[in-house]
Amino acid sequence: MLASVGLQVVAVLLFGLVTAGVSDWTSAWFFVLGGVAAIIPNALFALRLAIQKGRSPESYPVVFFLGEFAKIGLTLGLLAWIVSANPDVRWLPMILGLIVALKAPLFALFVTGDHRPAERFSRQEPGAAQQQGGHGRV
């Protein structure tokens, strides 16, 4: 989860530099601000889930869904604060920065090279049943 936050930071900064090259530094600044409005709540959410990891599994869904609602609320609050603090907001770069930050974790599978997420969650390694003397059927 924390790796996805790092990927968000890298994506927003990289595309922010591209925005500065294509447009100007003001647009790049609003692009980064839009991305930060998603990165900060996501980082806090990931930290909260990491803290919850050692506790009872029954409380995990409650913490997850309450954290998601808090993350959405904090994102909207940060966006509202950015708009109120900057009356000459550039909406397109800010919304694009938000979108890049929100979609960056989807590309984590391509960065890590793991293109088969279903096999990643299997309890037994492929071929382990044959090594144990089984017939390969579960």
What are the boundaries of each domain within the chain? 2-131
pTM here is 0.74
- CA triplet 72, 44, 81: central angle to 5 degrees? 50
Show Cβ contacts of residue 35 under 8 Å, excluding neighbours closer than 6 positions: 8, 11, 12, 15, 16, 97, 98, 100, 101
d(CA 68, CA 74): 10
- Distance separating alpha carbons of residues 86 and 133, to the nearest angstrom: 68
Q: Encoding tokens for residue 105?
A: 């974790």
How far apart CA 50 and CA 2 sit, in angstroms, is 9
- Runs of H (alpha helix) within the chain: 2-22, 25-52, 60-85, 91-103, 108-112, 117-120, 128-131
- Per-residue pLDDT tens digits of the chain, which is 138 residues long: 667 888 899 999 999 999 999 999 999 999 999 999 999 999 999 888 888 877 777 778 888 889 899 999 999 999 999 999 998 999 999 999 999 999 988 876 676 665 555 555 555 555 555 555 555 554
Q: Which amino acid is at 77?
A: G
Cβ(105)–Cβ(7) under 8 Å?
Answer: yes
